[in-house]
């Protein structure tokens, strides 16, 4: 690893950041989440904390821009340079800039979050089948209003789950119109426009008026990119027009003809030869998370590494399961030191006293030998808990017949489930405490138990709560007011009226919590925040329904 000359670094550990604008390529919540996760890469291994500011000057100001974007280092169109960042300091120092001529995704192709429809904001599922035909992008087939839509499951014909795709006909972002949709035609400087335009701007962003007369109302917003929109070229944001004519020949799909770099392109009108309108076809895109994590490394004081697998290596490569390289950890810890708190200790065999030397050691030990730990009794060694829930104000972590309690005294346990709640099976999928009468509800498979102190009701089938027979288990629970809870299973949840022990008839819906994964394996409420858990990670949503933290269960909640 390398640091910048003079070991430039922040002189404080509570670093702030602010997102100044967004890319049209992804929904804002997905961009927020990518940045939050990228910061977490560094806060996991240092004493640094990162707080997001919504106005004013932050240490790290994050922005998207194209070509000349206000500093002496212009970007270069699609591919090539992806982003850059400045080492710590005042002014532009510490800031991170992302080239918006890139196609920003999570690294594996379009990430299309839907709005409206009946899928409650789920992501599009590509490909999906509609009327027997397979679609790999949003379509306006089947509609007369031209709105692009997609299915959020593989088979619309069976599941009928759909939502609308990003489109200027549905909403805008940024600007001053609170996200209102474009109004076409609109008038700008006396001219009439029937679509989004880059006229009047020098940054290449497409915009529209949200009333029919911009000259009079001055209301505008930026147009979100459609998933089928081309990137770069001279028609940014327009969809490909198939078939199109190029050098007299008809093309029915993207082509690399005419280019020496092998990049796929298409025309955005039906005749390239005549109109010369074109752009690059959408591809897998670049992972905003990975690029941001790299740039934030610069913003914290790391220069480029020459270790190819290190995050701070200058070239981009996509990795599915990211973990910070030893070289990056050593680099950042050289600047800021390690994260405070005990390190995880490997299990060790119990020393046999008979084999200990009976002569005293000649030098005093510099470290204390950790007490042997039985992995089955160490919560820090558990990769994934069966469920986590708050009981009497303390978090309880359940795993295979045991549970741990995290209180202000620290982590205690493991305790045996059978000692406190003897009727329960070893694996508990979900649990919650009724806030009114402190009864404990436990779910395992298709059964549930209710404990009032030591008296037991159950087990009973979860279908008795009004859950459909198709529900094979309840995976998580969120309190909704004092007398209702939401029971989560898969991507659905139901609202249970606790005193009636019955779910509302019409209250089944898909997960509508923005910014959290749809495939969470546990959900719980703790100190008024909602936690959505997937494997080792959690997404914390505050009372304003904003995801304000993404973290590790092990390090943050268990304080391992």
Return the number of the residue (263 or 381) whose C-beta is nearest other proteins. Answer: 263
* Two tokens, residue 197: 């335009």
> Please, are residues 101 and 231 in contact by the beta-carbon 8 Å criterion?
yes
* Two tokens, residue 471: 């529900």
Return the number of the residue (276 or 377) whose C-beta is nearest other proteins. Answer: 276
* Two tokens, residue 29: 């919540």
d(CA 389, CA 395): 6
Strand, helix or coil for residue 329:
helix
Report the interface residues with other proteins, using CB under 8 A.
Answer: 4-5, 67, 73, 75-85, 99, 101-102, 232-234, 247, 256-261, 265, 276, 278, 286, 291, 294-295, 298, 303-304, 306, 308, 314-316
Return the number of the residue (102 or 386) whose C-beta is nearest other proteins. Answer: 102
Return the number of the residue (10 or 214) whose C-beta is nearest other proteins. Answer: 10
Smallest distance from the beta carbon of 34 to other proteins, in angstroms?
A: 16
Return the number of the residue (10 or 442) whose C-beta is nearest other proteins. Answer: 10
- Residue in this structure with the two tokens 């100001």, named with its chain if needed: 61
Helices 288-300 and 326-336 meet at what angle, rounded to 10? Answer: 30
188-197 contacts at long range (C-beta below 8 A, 24 or more positions apart) = 188/214, 188/215, 189/215, 190/215, 195/168, 196/168, 196/223, 196/237
Smallest distance from the beta carbon of 267 to other proteins, in angstroms?
A: 10
d(CA 9, CA 301): 5
Smallest distance from the beta carbon of 231 to other proteins, in angstroms?
A: 12
| Catalytic residue numbers, as ranges | 295
* Two tokens, residue 531: 């936690």
Strand, helix or coil for residue 30:
helix
Nearest to 510 by CA among 153, 131, 135, 33: 153
d(CA 143, CA 176): 30
Smallest distance from the beta carbon of 75 to other proteins, in angstroms?
A: 7
Smallest distance from the beta carbon of 171 to other proteins, in angstroms?
A: 27
> Please, are residues 307 and 281 in contact by the beta-carbon 8 Å criterion?
no
Under 8 Å CB-to-CB from 15, ≥6 apart: which residues? 48, 49, 50, 51, 59, 60, 300
Return the number of the residue (215 or 257) whose C-beta is nearest other proteins. Answer: 257
What residues form DSSP beta bridges with 197? Answer: 207
Smallest distance from the beta carbon of 111 to other proteins, in angstroms?
A: 19
Nearest to 2 by CA among 368, 459, 328: 328
Smallest distance from the beta carbon of 349 to other proteins, in angstroms?
A: 40
What residues form DSSP beta bridges with 278? Answer: 267
Smallest distance from the beta carbon of 396 to other proteins, in angstroms?
A: 44
d(CA 88, CA 83): 16
Alpha carbons within 13 A on the beta-carbon side of 434: 19
Nearest to 552 by CA among 278, 324, 346: 324
User: β-strands 128-130, 133-135: how paired?
Assistant: antiparallel
Return the number of the residue (276 or 499) whose C-beta is nearest other proteins. Answer: 276
């Amino acid at each position: 690893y390398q640091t910048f000359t003079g070991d430039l670094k922040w002189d404080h550990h509570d670093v702030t950041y602010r997102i100044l604008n967004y890319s049209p390529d992804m929904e804002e919540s997905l961009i927020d989440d990518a940045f939050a996760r990228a910061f977490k890469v560094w806060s996991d291994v240092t004493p640094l904390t990162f707080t997001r500011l919504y106005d004013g000057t932050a240490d790290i100001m994050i922005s998207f821009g194209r070509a000349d974007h206000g500093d002496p280092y212009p970007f270069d169109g699609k591919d090539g340079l992806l982003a850059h960042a400045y080492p710590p300091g005042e002014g532009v120092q510490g800031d991170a800039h992302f080239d918006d001529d890139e196609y920003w995704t999570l690294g594996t192709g379009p990430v299309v979050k839907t709005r409206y429809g009946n899928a409650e904001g789920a992501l599009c599922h590509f490909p999906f089948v509609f009327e027997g035909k397979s679609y790999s992008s949003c379509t306006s087939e089947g509609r007369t209003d031209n709105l692009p839509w997609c299915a959020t499951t593989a088979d619309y014909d069976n599941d009928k789950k759909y939502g609308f795709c990003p489109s200027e006909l549905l909403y805008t972002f940024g600007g001053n119109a609170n996200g209102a949709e474009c109004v076409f035609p609109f008038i700008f400087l006396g001219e009439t426009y029937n679509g989004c335009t880059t006229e009047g701007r020098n940054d290449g962003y497409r915009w529209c008026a949200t009333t029919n007369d911009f000259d009079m109302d001055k209301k505008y917003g930026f147009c979100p990119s459609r998933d089928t929109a081309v990137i770069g070229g001279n028609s940014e944001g327009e969809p490909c027009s198939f078939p199109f004519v190029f050098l007299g020949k008809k093309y029915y799909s993207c082509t690399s003809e005419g280019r020496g770099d092998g990049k796929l392109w298409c025309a955005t009108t039906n005749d390239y030869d005549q109109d010369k309108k074109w752009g690059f076809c959408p591809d897998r895109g670049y992972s905003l998370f990975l690029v941001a994590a790299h740039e934030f490394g610069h913003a914290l004081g790391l220069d480029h590494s020459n270790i190819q697998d290190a995050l701070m290596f200058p070239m981009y490569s996509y990795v599915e399961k990211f973990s910070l390289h030893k070289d990056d950890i050593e680099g950042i810890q050289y600047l800021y030191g390690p994260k405070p708190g005990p390190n995880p200790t490997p299990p060790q065999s119990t020393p046999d006293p008979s084999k200990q030397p009976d002569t005293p050691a000649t030098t005093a030990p510099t470290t204390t030998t950790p007490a042997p730990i039985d992995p089955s009794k160490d919560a820090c060694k558990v990769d994934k808990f069966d469920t986590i829930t708050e009981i009497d104000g303390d978090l309880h972590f359940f795993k295979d017949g045991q549970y741990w309690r995290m209180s202000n005294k620290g982590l205690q346990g493991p305790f045996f489930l059978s000692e406190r709640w003897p009727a329960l099976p070893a694996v508990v999928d979900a649990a919650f405490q009724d806030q009114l009468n402190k009864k404990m509800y436990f779910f395992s498979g298709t059964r549930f138990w209710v404990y009032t102190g030591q008296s037991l009701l159950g087990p009973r089938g979860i279908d008795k709560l009004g859950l459909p027979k198709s529900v094979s288990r309840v995976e998580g629970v969120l309190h909704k007011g004092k007398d209702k809870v939401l029971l989560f299973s898969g991507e659905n949840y139901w609202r249970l009226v606790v005193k009636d022990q019955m779910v509302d008839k019409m209250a089944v819906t898909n997960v509508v919590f923005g910014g959290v994964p749809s495939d969470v394996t546990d959900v719980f409420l703790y100190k008024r925040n909602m936690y959505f858990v997937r494997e080792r990670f959690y997404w914390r949503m505050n009372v304003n329904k904003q995801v304000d933290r993404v973290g590790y269960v092990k390090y943050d909640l268990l304080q391992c």
